[in-house]
Amino acid sequence: MPPSSASAAFRSTIIEVARDAGVSKTSVSRYLGGERHRLSPDMQARIATAIQRLGYRPNQMARGLKGGRSKLIGMLVADIRNPFSVDVLHGVEQACRARGFSLLVCNTDNDPAQERDHLALLASYRVEGIVINAAGRPSAELKALAAQGTPIVLLDRSLGDVDADVVGLDNASAIDLAIEHLVEQGYRHMLFVSEPPQGASSRQLRLDRFHQRLAQMPELTGDATCLPMQRDAAELRQRLGSFLAGEAQAPRAILCANGNVTLQVALALNALHARLGETGLLGIDELDWCALAGPGITTLAQPTEAIGRATVESLMQRLEPMGRQAPPRRTEYAARLIARGSTQR
């Protein structure tokens, strides 16, 4: 009879199973460790029954303590409320599961302090590898982890000083694709809106590339602006208002650096009663409501699940003894254009 009458959390141990089955704990351990073929059928049956009866679950703490293989992967997400992050997280989780690993997810809210704490937590649980969507500059904890040899894969954002694989979007090509589409559709005056880079390499890369391309194309004029979103939208609205009211004659378009920006810009344009299409709008990151806003918002979709899977792929290679020393590798994916009414004049 199971100890269901216990009022405090109580769980049976391998010893109790052994006693209940009338065998040694070594045998029970073997049974659990995939060495059943070395046990007599009779013993197997007795152990199975005992495990069932006691509702026994091996204690991972003890397991991890002994062997060192925790079968755990840690993941740090900069912003769990960002749909892009969640989609990638989903891919990472699936891939981990498929490889027999469990994923410990930590949200850092783009806060370096939380990032440090969570990193310490993951380290203390002896995760075998870490996927990190970094917030800001690399912390001492991260460097220590890397120095100790814990495999690390950087997601979306690379980190100076840290020698690790990076998986993410081909940011330069994405910007090229966006500008190319906008030009094709006849827009000639562009505003790039981003959140402040603050060490997020993908943001910086997109911003840089925008400036670079603009300089290369004399037929275009444009500007870029970096504003913290989330805040009161007044500043953004004002900035967009002056862009729309500017003296330039050319058709105008706004390029949003990520999904969060796209949302805020769309809200601001809505408040300004701008007509999408007449004012071009293209956002990086596909969002599930993009078809709903006005004539639909044109986006550059990232292959989120693929990115997630590739991340785990990289990590798994580093887990192998041979993959350990390989030089850092970048894996970049192309964005896919989803054209909608917001870039249709």
Partner DNA sequence: TTGTATGCGTTATCAA
Partner DNA sequence: TTGATAACGCATACAA
121 contributes a contact to a copy of itself by CB under 8 A = yes
At which residue do the structure tokens 């040694």 appear?
A: 24
- Supply the minimum distance, in Å, between the C-beta of residue 32 and DNA: 5
Which of the listed partners (a copy of itself, DNA, none) does 123 bind, with a CB threshold of 5 to 8 Å by partner kind?
Answer: a copy of itself
Q: 254: how many CB neighbours lie within 10 A of its CB?
A: 29
- Supply the minimum distance, in Å, between the C-beta of residue 100 and DNA: 14
Tokens representing residue 166 in the block: 């990076």
Residue 139 has what DSSP assignment?
Answer: P
**Contact residue for DNA among 3, 40, 98, 144 (CB under 7 A):** 40
- Supply the minimum distance, in Å, between the C-beta of residue 172 and a copy of itself: 29
- Supply the minimum distance, in Å, between the C-beta of residue 166 and a copy of itself: 20
d(CA 49, CA 9): 22
107 contributes a contact to a copy of itself by CB under 8 A = yes
Kindly tell me which of 27 and 260 has the beta carbon lying closer to DNA: 27
d(CA 207, CA 190): 13
Tokens representing residue 198 in the block: 């603050």
* Structural contact between residues 308 and 91, judged by C-beta atoms closer than 8 angstroms: yes
**Contact residue for a copy of itself among 15, 61, 234, 248 (CB under 8 A):** 61
266 contributes a contact to a copy of itself by CB under 8 A = yes
Residue closest to 315 by CA, chosen among 171, 177, 154, 158: 154
3-state SS assignment for residue 21: helix
Burial class of residue 285 in the structure, from the number of CB atoms within 10 Å of its CB (0-12 exposed, 13-18 middle, 19+ buried): buried
Residue closest to 195 by CA, chosen among 138, 154, 137, 136: 136
Return the range that interacts with DNA (CB under 7 A); candidates 24-32, 82-90, 106-114, 170-178: 24-32
* Structural contact between residues 70 and 127, judged by C-beta atoms closer than 8 angstroms: yes
**Contact residue for DNA among 5, 55, 62, 203 (CB under 7 A):** 62
Q: Which residues bind DNA (CB under 7 A)?
A: 13-15, 23-27, 29-30, 32-33, 37-40, 42-43, 56-59, 62-63, 65-67
Q: Which residues bind a copy of itself (CB under 8 A)?
A: 2-4, 6-11, 55, 57-62, 64-65, 70, 80-81, 83, 86-87, 89-90, 93, 97, 102-107, 114, 118, 120-121, 123-126, 128, 144, 147-151, 263, 266-267, 270, 287-289, 291-294, 321, 324-325
